[in-house]
């Protein structure tokens, strides 16, 4: 099936060295697949300028600034430095940020402090949050609530939590973004959650180069493959694929208003 409606990949890492050899070809394939907009989430301060440069090169590429929860504790920026990065052209979101207790060990209070710092920066800059959460559901919701994330909202990216979490996040004004994980055979619980997410709260992403969706599973992921996430979800939710794509496109600009202004 060829989708006619324009797509958005709401979360990818096109700045990674995985794409060093063929980034232009990857972008050309994304365009050919109908991906009109994509958002590059930053994971480390040393890549912020690279992400911004990629966004500056082409229409439809958007940037974020933030530090991934699993990055070294020493890479936590000062608030002023993060705010500076968030003020750069085409930076529309704060992230990625969040909590990941799966891949870090020991006392993780530094992760919580860093997440709180990002929430404060998002509120000040009015650039919504891109939240990564893994094995840390209760603390993630607790911090979103206590630090006032409702004021700015954002997205729970690469969503893998349960329905209670989805509902709590949506109550705080967050969108739910599904990745290739939802297409995996074993993701039956996630698929049940995906059926229930209201259409006006749904985003789709690749998280490329990770997590390529079926039927590309196991390969390096790339933004063009977001079409497979869309097609799978349309079938799962018994929705018209064009309508689902159009809705997620609209949702992206509602979630990240700065992208709409500068588009």
Q: Which residues bind Zn ion (CB under 5 A)?
A: 41, 132, 207
Q: Shortest Cβ distance from residue 158 to Zn ion (Å)? A: 5
Q: Cβ closer to Zn ion: 41 or 234?
A: 41
Q: Shortest Cβ distance from residue 35 to Zn ion (Å)? A: 17
Q: Which long-range contacts (CB under 8 A, 24 or more apart) does 21-27 make?
A: 23/54, 26/222, 26/223, 26/224, 27/58, 27/223
Q: Cβ closer to Zn ion: 161 or 207?
A: 207
* Coil, helix or strand at residue 203: strand
**Pair of tokens at residue 175:** 């969108």
Q: Shortest Cβ distance from residue 179 to Zn ion (Å)? A: 9
Q: Cβ closer to Zn ion: 19 or 241?
A: 19
Q: Cβ closer to Zn ion: 41 or 129?
A: 41
| Strand positions, DSSP E, the chain | 7-12, 35-40, 61-65, 91-100, 129-134, 154-156, 174-178, 202-204
Q: Shortest Cβ distance from residue 65 to Zn ion (Å)? A: 13
CA quadruple 70, 60, 203, 211: dihedral sign: negative
Q: Shortest Cβ distance from residue 148 to Zn ion (Å)? A: 22
Q: How far is CA 186 from the centre of its chain?
A: 22
Q: Cβ closer to Zn ion: 136 or 234?
A: 136
């Amino acid at each position: 099936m060829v989708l006619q409606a324009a797509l958005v990949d709401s979360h990818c890492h096109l700045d990674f060295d995985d794409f060093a050899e063929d980034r232009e070809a990857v972008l050309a394939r994304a365009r050919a697949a109908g991906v009109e907009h994509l958002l590059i989430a930053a994971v480390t301060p040393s890549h912020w300028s690279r992400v911004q440069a990629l966004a500056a090169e082409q229409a439809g590429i958007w940037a974020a600034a933030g530090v991934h929860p699993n990055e070294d504790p020493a890479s936590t920026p000062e608030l002023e430095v993060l705010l500076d990065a968030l003020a750069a052209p085409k930076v529309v979101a704060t992230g990625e940020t969040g909590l990941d207790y799966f891949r870090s060990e020991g006392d993780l209070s530094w992760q919580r402090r860093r997440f709180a710092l990002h929430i404060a920066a998002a509120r000040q800059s009015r650039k919504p949050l891109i939240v990564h959460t893994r094995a840390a559901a209760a603390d993630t919701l607790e911090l979103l609530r206590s630090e006032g994330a409702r004021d700015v909202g954002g997205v729970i990216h690469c969503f893998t939590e349960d329905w209670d979490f989805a509902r709590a996040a949506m109550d705080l004004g967050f969108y739910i973004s599904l990745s290739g994980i939802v297409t995996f055979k074993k993701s039956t619980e996630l698929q049940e959650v995906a059926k229930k997410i209201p259409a006006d709260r749904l985003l789709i992403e690749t998280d490329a180069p990770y997590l390529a969706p079926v039927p590309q599973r196991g390969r390096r992921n790339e933004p063009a493959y977001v079409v497979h996430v869309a097609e799978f979800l349309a079938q799962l939710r018994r929705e018209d694929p064009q309508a689902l794509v159009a809705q997620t496109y609209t949702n992206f600009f509602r979630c990240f208003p700065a992208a709409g202004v500068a588009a």
